[in-house]
Amino acid sequence: MRAPVLLATVCLLWPAACTAPPETTPDQLDGQVLQPPAGVGLQPVLIPALSAMSEVVQQNLETRFAELRQGIASDLSSDTLAGIYGDVGALLLAARYFSESTPYFLNAQVLAPSDRRWPYYLGQVYRNVGPLDEAARALERANQMQPNNVATEVWLGEVYLAQ
């Protein structure tokens, strides 16, 4: 279940990455910290080194980072900004940048606390890098939000077994 959702996310974002010209080069983005909007209780996020990624992935992430910078500077709804943070986190998760994706998902969860994707993805991050008790808590929360979701229950079971 997780793979189709992530694949759909990547497929939806693919056209934008292939058609939009990058505003900056990967070297200019590497290590940049994006500050969140003031007063919302969000964490700053780090743009990881993109130069090690394929050109298509770099372009896709550059586009999403530009959207995030614009979203932070404008007056977007919480759900829209959560979606942008979450999409960047999903791309980083897919690229196996687990630790770097964590603050993106945490911010998305703060902005859209009723969206089960963000605790589910956090559970995937913690499942890969730990701590496993955080993975279990995040996946339990996702499961409470959408009971009987097979993918969530399977991964939650895997975490329980690993503990």
Q: Could you tell me the pTM of the whole model?
A: 0.79
Buried b (16+ CB within 10 A) or exposed e, 135-156: bbbbbbbbbebeeebebbeebb
pLDDT of residue 30: 60
Give the mean model confidence (pLDDT) for residues 41-61. Answer: 88
Give the span between the Cα atoms of 120 and 39, in whole angstroms. 26
What number of other Cβ atoms are within 10 A of residue 80's Cβ? 14
Q: Which residues on adjacent β-strands are paired with residue 45?
A: 34
Backbone phi, psi, residue 125, to 5°: -60, -55
Q: How far does the chain reach from its first CA to its final CA, in angstroms?
A: 23
pLDDT of residue 38: 81
Q: Which residues on adjacent β-strands are paired with residue 33?
A: 46
pLDDT of residue 40: 81
Where does the pLDDT of residue 27 fall: very low under 50, low under 70, confident under 90, or very high at 90 and above? very low
Give the mean model confidence (pLDDT) for residues 32-42. Answer: 86
